[in-house]
Amino acid sequence: MEAALEYINANAANAPYIIFGLLLLAGFNVPVSEDIMLFTSALLAAKNPELLYPLFIAVFAGAYLSDVICYGFMGRFLGEKIFKIKFFKSMAPPEKIAKVTEFYEKYGIITLILGRFIPFGVRNALFLTAGLGKMNAFKFCVSDFIACVISCVSFFSLYYHFGESVIEYVKKFNLVIFAVAIIVGIIFFVKKKKAQKIENPSH
């Protein structure tokens, strides 16, 4: 990853293509950080104003299509075949898919918006489970597009205008979002258990 970043910074004119390509790889669960790509593209844009729009379009399109690949190809198309790979088996066990699917059905776009602000591992797990759980494709694409616009515009703008000075604040913000996601998940789980007890009082 460090070598790729060095190459990007040394070849600013080709940076949009490189960033776009790297983000597409992230859709196949190659460990490419969307957060780092946003930061790198924004800093490059600040130094090379003529590349502002190409860099933003590249990072936005790459991030969005990466989500669609993870959801559509990895989740819906390959489906249960990916469980033959140990990494994916631990990443998205059947019980987790069922829980996340219910969560998507109840909270919809909020799930994707929160998910986009959570680092790579959790973010991709959400998109993968959405595909495995057969979440409606149109609903996913529209919801994720809105979520992607919010996260990419927010982070790109922050990094473009304030640079490295906001990194620590962004990290703290991500931690808060992660904590909120956990709390919401716990509340959802507790409510579900209570509802099951009411429906089946003998248990």
More confident site: 189 or 164:
164
Q: How many residues does the chain have?
A: 203
144 to 71, 132, 148: CA distances (angstroms)? 10, 16, 6
Does residue 28 surpass a pLDDT of 70? yes
Over residues 116-175, the pLDDT tens digits come to 777 656 777 788 888 888 888 998 899 899 989 998 999 899 999 888 877 777 777 666
pTM assigned to the model? 0.79
Does residue 42 surpass a pLDDT of 90? yes
pLDDT score, position 74:
87
CA–CA separation, 103 and 130 (whole Å): 10
The average pLDDT across 176-187 equals 66
Does residue 22 surpass a pLDDT of 90? yes
The average pLDDT across 97-124 equals 71
Selection from 82, 189, 191 nearest residue 129 by Cα: 82
Count of alpha carbons within 13 angstroms of residue 41, beta-carbon side: 33
Q: Is 166 exposed, middle or buried (0-12, 13-18, 19+ CB in 10 A)?
A: middle
pLDDT score, position 156:
94
CB 59 within 8 A of CB 24: no
Does residue 203 surpass a pLDDT of 70? no
Q: What are the phi and psi torsion angles at 31 (to 5°)?
A: -70, 75
